[in-house]
Amino acid sequence: MSELVFALSAWVALLLRPQVIGQWLPVVLLMLGYGLLVRRRMRRRGGSRWLVGFAGLCGLLYLLVWALGAIGLPMGLARDLAWINLLWGVLILLRLLLSRTWGLGPTDRLYLQVVKPAFLVGVLLFLGDRLNSLDEVGAIGLLELFGRTYTVSDLLIVLLFPYFLVVLSGLLVNLIRGLLQTILDVSDSSLQVLALLLRYLIVGLGFLWLFNVLGLSGTPLAALVGGLSVGLGFGIKEVFSNFVSGVWLLFEGSVRPGDVLFIDGDPCMVRRMGLRAATLWRQRDNAELVIPNQVFFTNQTTTYTGTDRMRRGQVAVSAAYRHVPSEVIALLEATARSMPRVLREPAPRAYLISYGDSGINYVVRYGIADPLENLGISSELSDAVWKAFEAYGIEIPFPQRVVHPAGGGRLEEKALDET
């Protein structure tokens, strides 16, 4: 550890030398000035104006490099920073071009999750190698464990490899799923299940490779698993429980991507089954709900797509007592059958539910193909029932009260029922 501290202090001392400060400080000031004064305005005016502003920044940086060389000062670090800035601009330009082909959402995810972190790591490693040999720094030992000395390189692998493994495995699996969906006639829900299982496999193989590189095999791995089991009991029990629950749900098939579940009074579609949680889409407010996997594993869940996607909906209505119930029932069924999004089989059925204070209460029940369309179909059918009742002279009653004076001038309320 002392060797690592010495190497870091040597880097800091090198960066604070006057000859080195004269290279990186003007570059940093130019970049900050561009970011504060130019970049925001150019982005508001459009991509072409931003490109002109960035080209001006590159010109100033290379002019600085030329000026340093012309007066005989060191310019190697300034030139490297100028090239890094140019490469960063090229990546931003590629991002703008790809967003027109792939869409803004997928391009931004690729840029933020992969390109930007990889670029940052690459720049830090490159500049670190320019200041001091990375081979020497990477070989510095940090600790002894299981009869093996773990170095700075091992620490970097442990910190960086899991992140890029999880992110890149997701992108690779999405690519494979898109190819399979194009080539094979497979349902989207089955493809999502296959994609998630394939991602589990890739991540598992990646961690096995990591354990092998770190020398964690046999007895060391058993000791690590023993320590992990203790950690599960204290800190990461919920994470492990959600992971196992997600795998079990996929194999059991009770909750899959594409299913429609009834959550907190609203139908929600399962979009993704992740390593820790499931992502559901709620149509009412276009919100995404992130629910831990073990919730579906331990709690009762109502699904509208367990065996099929057909769902029963209903519309309740009242009619005055003077109308014959059989005629009202026939009209309700005929109105429901006339709706284009109401299924013919099972046929809509209307029922007399109860005799109310103001009228007779009816309900018409119908089948729909998509559970998420129930609200819209219910609204359309309610409007159609209103128009049908108006056309056939069927009155929808409502409670009325009349206030009249009683004996002694006292006011009394009397409910008048529709007859």
Q: Which residue, chain included where needed, has tokens 């790591």?
A: 121
Q: Write the single-letter amino acid at 290.
A: V
Q: Which residues of the chain have pLDDT under 50?
A: 45-46, 409-419
Does residue 299 sit in the same domain as residue 352? Answer: no
Residue 229: predicted pLDDT:
61
Residue 419: predicted pLDDT:
37
Backbone torsions φ then ψ of 338, nearest 5 degrees: -80, -10
Does residue 124 sit in the same domain as residue 22? Answer: yes
The boundaries of the domain holding residue 120 are 1-139
Is the residue at 214 inside a domain? no
Q: Identify the domain boundary among 116, 139, 162.
A: 139
Judge contact between 329 and 351, C-beta under 8 A.
yes
Determine how many CB atoms are found less than 10 A away from the CB of residue 256: 20
Verdict on whether the full-model pTM lies above 0.85: no
Does residue 364 sit in the same domain as residue 388? Answer: yes
The number of angstroms, rounded, from the C-alpha of 36 to the middle of its chain's C-alpha atoms is: 31
Does residue 363 sit in the same domain as residue 321? Answer: yes
Q: Identify the domain boundary among 88, 114, 139.
A: 139
Residue 342: predicted pLDDT:
92
Residue 360: predicted pLDDT:
93
Judge contact between 188 and 178, C-beta under 8 A.
no
Residue 417: predicted pLDDT:
44
Is the residue at 40 inside a domain? yes
Is the residue at 274 inside a domain? yes
DSSP category for residue 367 = E
Query: Residue 281 sits in a domain of what CATH number?
Result: 2.30.30
Q: Kindly compute the dihedral angle of the four CA atoms of residues 296, 297, 302, 307, in this order, to the nearest 10 degrees.
A: 110
Tokens representing residue 176 in the block: 């494979």
What's the pLDDT tens digit per position in 302-357? 877 767 778 888 999 999 999 999 999 999 999 999 999 999 888 999 999 999 88
Spell out the alpha helix ranges (H) of 258-372.
293-298, 325-337
Residue 335: predicted pLDDT:
94
Residue 414: predicted pLDDT:
47
Report helix, strand or coil for 364.
strand
Residue 98: predicted pLDDT:
80
Residues 6+ apart with CB under 8 A from 232: 240
Is the residue at 349 inside a domain? yes
Max CA pair span of the chain = 114
Is the residue at 72 inside a domain? yes
Backbone torsions φ then ψ of 311, nearest 5 degrees: -130, 145
Residue 57: predicted pLDDT:
73
Number of domains in the chain: 3
Judge contact between 337 and 344, C-beta under 8 A.
yes
Q: Which residues pair with 260 in a beta bridge?
A: 269
Residue 416: predicted pLDDT:
44
Residue 146: predicted pLDDT:
60
Is the residue at 144 inside a domain? no
Does residue 359 sit in the same domain as residue 259? Answer: no
Residue 339: predicted pLDDT:
92
Report which secondary-structure segment, H or E, holds 316.
Answer: strand 311-319
Residue 393: predicted pLDDT:
92
Instruction: Specify burial of residue 390 (Cβ count, 10 A radius: 0-12, 13-18, 19+).
Output: exposed
Q: Identify the domain boundary among 139, 173, 202.
A: 139
Instruction: Specify burial of residue 46 (Cβ count, 10 A radius: 0-12, 13-18, 19+).
Output: exposed
Q: Which is nearest to 323 in space by CA: 243, 235, 392? A: 392
